[in-house]
Copies of this chain bind each other. A is one copy, B any other.
Amino acid sequence: MNKFKEIYADLEKKILSGEYPSNTLLPSEKQLSEMYNVSRETIRKALNLLINTGLIQKKQGKGSIVLDLNRFDFPISGLTSFKELKDSQKIDSVTKVIEIKKVAVSPTLSEKTGWPVASEAWKLVRTRTINGEPAIIDIDYLDANIVPVLPEKKVSQSLYDFLEIDLGLEISYAQKEITVENVTKEVRDLLELTLDDNHVVTVKSLVYLADTSCFEYTESIHRLDKFRFVDFARRRKV
């Protein structure tokens, strides 16, 4: 592994374990570069990762302050970025595969993904049950050129582990949109909604590989009372 990633991982571990408590300063960049026997720029790359994950905040002339991340059950552990997916994995949840089949790409889907109409895609429908109550429906469409096989056993555990570990795909970035939509009868049944619940939260994502090809379109449908999205955002000045 790269030096700066190793240093990042080490510092993260020490922050989470309390060795560097929140609201205290990390050792200075100069000290860290001596401690790890690397140049200062390498230390700075590691610190930048900590900044991006919201673990520290730097102050010129002062130092690197360890942030307190317990205000909102902050989604920590470096597993962020596709947070709502990961979050649902952390809780005690059961995944059930409702449907898994190859379909022809419809014009609607083609417009979103850029895949040719009538080319092959996997359609995967799963429900996530949390503490015995159905909470989420995930509808995934995957480019069958990129994902040739899709074993039911694997996707009932973790789709992303299968894609990254078994298939070796390098998932890189996603565009996503969160809205609230009217519930359809099918969704109402799957989520066991009562009659006065007419809405669901829908998270639509387009997911891309490192080579910029779009390989997945997902709609993740959440019961209102089960939905929660937590984010850390840095102010971006232009």
Which residue numbers of A lie inside 8 Å of B, CB to CB?
A: 5, 8-9, 12, 23, 41, 52-54, 57, 59, 65, 67, 69, 71-72, 74, 78-83, 112, 171-180, 196, 198-199, 201, 204, 206, 208, 210-212, 224-225, 227-236, 238
Contacts and interface: CB of A to CB of B under 8 A. Distances in A.
A173 B234 contact: yes
B236 A80 contact: yes
A227 B179 contact: yes
A5 B238 CA distance: 8
A224 B180 contact: yes
B201 A198 contact: no
Contacts of A82: 233, 235
Contacts of A12: 238
B238 A79 contact: yes
